[in-house]
Amino acid sequence: MNKAELVFYAGSTLLEGPRWNNELNALLCVSIEQERIFLINDEEQLVKTFKTNGQVGFALFKDKETIIYAAYEGVYELNIATGENKFLFQANNDKTLRYNDGDYDPKGRILLGTTGYKRFAKGEGCLYSANADGTNIKKIIKNTSISNGIAFSHDSKYLYFIDTPTKKVGRYEYDADKGSCSFDKYIVEITGDGVPDGMCIDEEGNIYVAEWGGFRVCKWNPATGECLKEYHVPVQNVSSCTIGGRNRDTLFITTAAHDDGTTSEIGAGGLFKVKL
């Protein structure tokens, strides 16, 4: 079992959504409850911090100059150089929900999941799809509770999606031309103490699933459901992961503090990394 080491810590209670950019040799992650986006160059030990418009569910690179992020007040475009925010659109108008995880689909649409805002909202959330300009907003997966990890098979035929309380990773047949999907089957089930949270996919098509409450990220073969490898994290609540580094040989992992008021582990809420 490979053990992850701490890279960055800024007192976040819920660090989430790491995303890598090769051109910048840096990654994004979001501090949901502190309403911050961090742009981190681990190699040069440089960090840029941006304030968001409310609790921020995720942030994505549009290009090396621009970030797209989804916060409580809507979806925004952020200029990395100036810090200027530009409002794009609002898909979710239910103030009792907030955005959680999100990603691009193979055609560049933005997928936006929701979860309860400061409460558990069983079956009240969904996964939205929207064009980058905010047109053609629609719900493609309904009745979710905590919408989390999103990944696509390399042939774009399947969307892998996590609704955390199910403790499973679902596979959906995906129509990239229409931006629609239909449930196919569950491909992974978490049977230990943890529940599945964020997720990423490697060049071979294996998925890496962060386990909230499980002290680990596990690598899975989505075709067979076999667990191929475990990466130990010295923090109980492991929230998400992404593959990056100059040689694309590093798994970056976000974590969170305990959400029940009990004492958290050292580094909880920080960013960790481990070699693949």
Give the contacts of 271 (CB within 8 A, at least 6 positions apart): 6, 7, 8, 9, 15, 18, 29, 38, 40, 252, 253, 254, 255
Q: Give 131's pLDDT tier (boundaries 50, 70, 90).
A: very high
Taking residues 49-72, report their average pLDDT. Answer: 97
Distance between CA atoms of residues 37 and 172, nearest Å: 30
Residue 256 in contact with residue 13, Cβ under 8 Å? yes
pLDDT of residue 183: 98
Hey, what long-range contacts does 258-267 have (CB within 8 A, 24 or more apart)?
259/13, 259/14, 264/235, 264/236, 264/237, 265/234, 265/235, 265/236, 266/234, 267/6, 267/9, 267/234, 267/235
Would you say 39 and 80 are in contact if contact means Cβ atoms under 8 Å apart? yes
Instruction: Give residue 215's pLDDT.
Output: 97
pLDDT of residue 117: 95
Over residues 219-267, the pLDDT tens digits come to 999 999 999 999 999 999 999 999 999 999 999 999 999 988 888 999 9
Q: What is the mean pLDDT of residues 42-67?
A: 96
Mean pLDDT computed over 17-28: 97
- Residue 136 near residue 128, CB atoms below 8 Å: no
CA distance linking residue 151 with residue 202, whole number of Å: 10
Q: What is the pLDDT of residue 260?
A: 85
152-178 core/surface letters (b: 16 or more CB in 10 A; e: else): bbeeeebbbbbbbebbbbbbbebebee
Give the pLDDT of residue 268: 97
Rounded to whole angstroms, the Cα distance separating 63 from 75 reads 16
Report the predicted TM-score, pTM, of the whole model to 2 decimal places.
Answer: 0.96
Q: How many whole angstroms from its chain centre is CA 85?
A: 21
**If you count DSSP H runs as helices and E runs as strands, how many of each does the chain have, helices first?**
0, 25
Q: Between 261 and 172, whose confidence is greater? A: 172
- Give residue 1's pLDDT: 63
Q: Which helix (H) or strand (E) holds 110?
A: strand 110-116
When pLDDT is averaged across residues 11-36 and rounded to a whole number, the result is 97
pLDDT computed for residue 2 by the predictor:
77
- The 8-class DSSP code of residue 52 comes to -
Percent with pLDDT over 70 in the chain: 100
Q: Which residue type is seen at 248?
A: R
Q: How far is CA 98 from CA 134, 178, 189, 256, in A?
A: 17, 25, 26, 18
What pLDDT is recorded for position 259? 87
